[in-house]
Amino acid sequence: MINLIVWAADVGSVRRNNFGWCRASWQQESVGTTTGTDILAFASGVTDDLSDGKKVAIGFECPLFVPVADDPLFLTSARQGDGNRAWSAFGGAAALATGLAECVWIFEKIRLLAGVPIQPTFSWQELLSQEANLFIWEAFVSGSSKASSHRRDAETATRTFWAEYPEIAKANAVTAQNPYSLVGAALLRSGLTTDLSVLSEQCIVIKSQ
């Protein structure tokens, strides 16, 4: 087991207290979690773990990439694996729009506060091979897994991640042909990367349902 801490954020209005997060670590054969609602505490906590030399897997519960279909009739269609919850439908679109701003804000805080170089990646193998220290994934909490609070949804996402560990790549639940990475754009905007190829890479989606 690598020195890994899993974080997840259930995006939502900070002003209305609809942002929730969870930090989850493996502790003596079980997962220990801490939850909260403060977005700065989330960004600072991720930064502290990275600065302490830990690897971090950070997940956001919103669509992080969308397909750019050749046929314009399918430009807003669901991704493969979305099920009956298309990214462009009301709930998915609202979460996507909120996540656009919150992901950039969080990444900028990480860049400014971190005491170590940040090497982000969407590749689980790159994290395992010591080439990266920040693995970015999409959390997908739906159906009976949905809880009554944003903190609990974030906790569910982290526990599902640990349940799939270490076969994270195999656990990917959503794919898209010709993906446009919104989280890749956030990484570029925040200055955490200058690699333009992230705009056309999808991240791994871990689904709780």
Rounded to the nearest 10 degrees, the angle between the axes of helix 90-113 and helix 182-190 is: 30
CA dihedral 110, 21, 186, 95 (to 10 degrees): -160
The answer to whether 145 and 15 are in contact (CB under 8 A) is no
Tell me whether strands 65-67 and 179-181 are parallel, antiparallel or unpaired.
Answer: antiparallel
Give me the tens of pLDDT residue by residue for the chain, a chain 209 residues long: 679 999 999 999 999 999 999 999 998 788 999 999 999 999 999 999 999 999 999 999 999 999 999 999 999 999 999 988 788 988 889 999 999 999 999 999 999 999 899 999 999 999 999 889 999 999 999 888 888 899 999 999 999 999 999 999 999 999 998 999 999 999 999 999 999 999 999 999 999 98
Prediction pTM value = 0.95
User: Quick check: bond before 179 cis, omega within 30?
Assistant: no
